[in-house]
Structure 1
Amino acid sequence: MINEFTSNLDPDLPANAEVQAAMLNLTTELVDLALLQAVEVKTEQVEGRKRRISAKISIPRQVEQVWQVLTDYEALAEFIPNLGKSERLKHPQGGIRLEQIGTQRLLRVNFSARVVLDIEEVFLQAIHFNMVEGDFNAYSGCWRLEPETKEDGSGTSLSYTVLVWPKRTMPIVFLERCLQHDLPLNLLAIRQRVEELFS
């Protein structure tokens, strides 16, 4: 789409860097919008205030490359929107423990949530996480990676599922909207990070 759009620019027109940049930004936004619409998001009411939300995206890179980005835990906050902090903590049994803080702004109200997660890796297949401390009654889920074979090479199907049980002080409708909005952006950010590192 970018090549098709920019190829229609008249090379004989006076060079205007601002106009050219604006056009390139517009095409990038259009591509991102198309990719966002390709992210599948599902919400399920499990029981009471518990919700299971899942999302899935296709990444045109090898599983090993996607795995490398996902397991660089302390770098996640550098490129995932609304993730303000992702830091490894000392685990009492020597495993992987992360502290993450998510931030969100809605209707001029700043909202943040903190979780401490224990991580269990199944090499190149899955990353399970479970909250051991934080701002929810419960928060657990899994990243899953599956190899794809496409006409133009190998790819990875990346899916994310989270089961969240908010405390009474957190409106469930607000939480649902935040997750439904953020998950496609987060998956797209991971895809873009993989592309940047391995293109």
Structure 2
Amino acid sequence: MATMLLSSSSSSSHGLLRLRLHHHPPLRLLAATSYSIRRLRVAVPTRRSLPSPISSSPDDVAAAHDDDEQEDESHKEERDERYGFEIEVRKLPKRNRRLVRARVSVDAPLDAVWATLTDYEGLAGFIPGLSECRLLDQRPTFARLYQVGEQDLALGFKFNAKGTIDCYEGELQVLPAGARRRDIAFNMIDGDFKVFQGKWSVQEVDGGEISAGQEFQTTLSYVVELEPKLWVPVRLLEGRICNEIKTNLVCIREEAQRIHRLQDEGNSQTQRKSC
């Protein structure tokens, strides 16, 4: 999906973060844990590991923290075996910059996942919080998107955000052992972040790694390097960003699996008619 799919990314006419707070009943309280990433020791149903992490610099950790606190804050992970999901956040040498890596397992072929990612104007239909995703420009292997997101905050308030993303679709790659992969690189050209760039990767694993009872096993990966505007501390956004990324990946997974089921049903009906 040639889009960042992060509804907390936005822009304003002054290039600064714009918050629109609308108080409305009933009050919704968000769990306090949404602003932290817990380290969970849970097995994930895939044998591929995340890309090699990027080390952080101790110079970027506040002097008031001791060494143990520095290490804990510079590398955070979460795993969820229900979806074969895992995410890690790394603090980069530049103080207010983060690298986020995430992935989820999908029981559908690469083509179904790719079709879901590149259904640009349909993304808002299955991504919660993405109220608009408009295609501004499209050429072979390129798309420019305008996105509007809306998220619920604590005490009944809402957060509105906007952003423009350039996306570059890569060619299909055939990897060793018959695996296939295709990537989408993206870059925010207008929004609240000084830096917001990364890549989506869809990789269909070889038959030897497919679990029993599964026809396909595909891994959807997401990597983003981000740095907010100077006045927005990234630590305040970190938990929300990670929650958004997880929601986005799981929703893409579910939509791709739904598309695959519909394709299978259509093929079965065609075969029955031809008999």
TM-score, normalised by the number of residues in structure 1? 0.75
Q: Are the structure 2 counterparts of residues 43 and 49 from structure 1 closer, same or farther at C-alpha, using a change threshold of 3 Å?
A: same
Aligned match of 1:42 = 88
1:151-190 equivalences in 2 (<5 Å): 151=212, 152-190=214-252
Residues 142 and 39 of structure 1: CA distance in aligned 2, closer, same or farther (over 3 Å): same
Aligned equivalent of 1:64, options 111, 127, 132: 111
Tell me what 2:7 maps to.
Answer: none
Unaligned runs of 5+ in 1: 1-32
Q: Distance in 2 between matches of 1:134 and 1:91?
A: 20
Counterpart for residue 198 of structure 1: 260
More helix by share: 1
Once the two structures are superposed, the pairs formed by residues 67-82 of structure 1 within 5 Å of their partners are 67-82=114-129
Do the aligned partners of 1:99 and 1:116 also contact (CA within 8 Å) in 2? yes
Query: Identity rate of aligned residues, in percent?
Result: 31
1:155 alignment partner AA: Q
Partner of 1:163, secondary structure, is strand
Matched residue SS, 1:35: coil
Q: Deviations over 1:32-83 (max 9, x none)?
A: x7525x3101001112111111110110111011000000011111111222
Contact 1:81-1:182 at 8 Å conserved across structures: no
Following superposition, the deviation at residue 93 of structure 1 comes to 11
Q: How far, CA to CA, are the matches of 1:94 and 1:62 in structure 2?
A: 20
Residues 42/65 of structure 1: CA separation in 2 closer, same or farther (3 Å cut) = same
Cα displacement string for residues 94-130 of structure 1 (whole angstroms, at most 9, x for unaligned residues) = 9411112233222233223322111100134100101
Structure ranking higher on relative contact order (CA contacts 8 Å, 6+ apart): 2
Distance 1:60 1:92, change over 3 A: closer
RMSD: 2.2
The verdict on how the C-alpha distance between 1:64 and 1:50 changes in structure 2, with shifts beyond 3 A counting, is same
Partner residue of 1:135?
Answer: 192
Contact 1:104–1:178 (Cα < 8 Å) also in 2: no
Q: Distance in 1 between matches of 2:141 and 2:88?
A: 34
Within 1, Cα distance between the matches of 2:242 and 2:129? 13
Quick one: which amino acid aligns to residue 193 of structure 2?
F
> Does the 8 Å contact 1:126/1:144 carry over to 2?
yes
- Match for 1:89 among 136, 157, 164? 136
Can you give the 5+ residue segments of structure 2 that lack an aligned partner in the other structure? 1-79, 173-181, 262-275
Deviation of 1:170 after TM superposition, in Å, equals 2.8
Q: Secondary structure at the match of 1:76?
A: helix
The aligned residue for residue 166 of structure 2 is 118
Q: Secondary structure at the match of 1:168?
A: coil
Distance 1:133 1:93, change over 3 A: farther
| Residue aligned with 1:174, SS | helix
| CA distance in 2 between partners of 1:172 and 1:119 (Å) | 24
| Distance of 2:82 and 2:252 partners within structure 1 | 12
Structure 1 CA distance, aligned partners of 2:184 and 2:118?
9
Paired residue type of 1:60: D
* Alpha-carbon shift at residue 91 of structure 1 (Å): 6.5
